[in-house]
Amino acid sequence: MHTTLSPDEPVLVLAAGSSSLRLALFAADGTRIAGRATETAPGPDTAEELRGFLAGVPAPAAVGHRLVHGGPHLTEHALVDARVRALLKEASGLARLHLPPALAVVDTAMELLPDIPHVACFDTVFHRSLPAAAYEYAVPERWRVEYGLRRYGFHGLSYAWTLERAAEALDRPVGDFQAVLVHLGGGCSACAVRDGRSVDTTMGFTPLEGLVMSRRSGSVDPGALLWLQRHHGLSAEELEDALHRRSGLLGLSGTSGDTRDLVRARAEGEARAAGALAVFVHSCRRGIASMAASLDRLDALVFTGEIGEDQPEVREEICSGLQVLGVGGHLSVPPLKDLRDEGTRRIHHPGADVPVVVVATGETQQMAAETRRLLRG
């Protein structure tokens, strides 16, 4: 098997989530040749889904796989071999809802495409530069040293893509750019970037910590979880299911975890939808402000992710409450098609102290780029 890639060969990208699978084929210049997405978790039908996709596209020369968590040992994107696959199995308990289905996709793809290289692209790699003050938890030494309890950070592939494009849009070199990046989608997080490096982030040991999300709770007082166990008999499995699948915007509204639904419902006078959005916006503002505290200055606030790029009402409400950081409202609203075609838009009003930028989501493009970078001959 060749583990180098010639400049003109296409790359297949497989991004498996806990409840979805995205497939895309990219040309050498980053152009998307073809793509497909499923709204069901990877499972027994994944092999047939992949076969069907491959039957209609040029043969890929390599495959890039999105893995949410690299664990303590995989701190760079890596060629999948027996050692890496074993380390991924060890790390699977750190992201029980994300890694097992993603590893099943890796195994399926390697069986169907055994003669080309497969690359693991990790969301945690972007945050390997976190300083100890940002990644350490104030817990007993044994937990930190022996058990490996620390903040890892996630959404790294999205942040890597977003950082480059935001700096370019503002004509700033990445190495002299300080910004808060905000990924808002099904999962939500914020990240502080100083001089091209992640120095703080809201997600932690797992993708559950931090901002309120679509169906995930975000940060909850650990004492409250202990209380639920002791006084209401909730098991670890029950807590995990509730915090990951029945909390967040869905838990607050009782109807939907989708901000588009909630914005419409609020306009129709539904109080629970309005309350859910208020909690979400407050959580985002608090997260952004905490990230700004890790910077020397704030050169920009940058939004990405499905909500970040496609929910102008949410962007406006977040920014209008951040005057303390020099961020203001009255943002422009670029047509979604134009944003996706152009990739980046500056949306702050002309007199703003701090620029606000929105970047079209680019995780799959970043995966293709990282795969090429690793396999460059």
What amino acid positions are annotated as catalytic residues? 123
Give the bridge partners for 38, in sequence order: 21
Helix (H) or strand (E) holding 88, with range, is helix 82-91
- Report yes or no: 151 and 137 within 8 Å, Cβ to Cβ: yes
DSSP 3-state of 169: helix
Give the other-Cβ count within 10 Å of 336's Cβ. Answer: 12
Number of H helices, E strands in the chain: 15, 12
**What residue type is 32 in one-letter code?**
R
Q: Can you tell me the distance from the alpha carbon of 171 to that of 109, in angstroms, rounded to the nearest whole number? A: 40
Q: Can you tell me the distance from the alpha carbon of 333 to that of 350, in angstroms, rounded to the nearest whole number? A: 14
Match 């289905």 to its residue by tokens: 101
Diameter of the chain by CA atoms? 62
Strands (E) across 178-317 are located at 178-184, 188-194, 197-201, 300-304
DSSP 3-state of 6: coil
Count CA atoms within 13 Å of residue 94 on its CB side. 25
Joined together, the tokens standing for residue 299 give: 């050169």
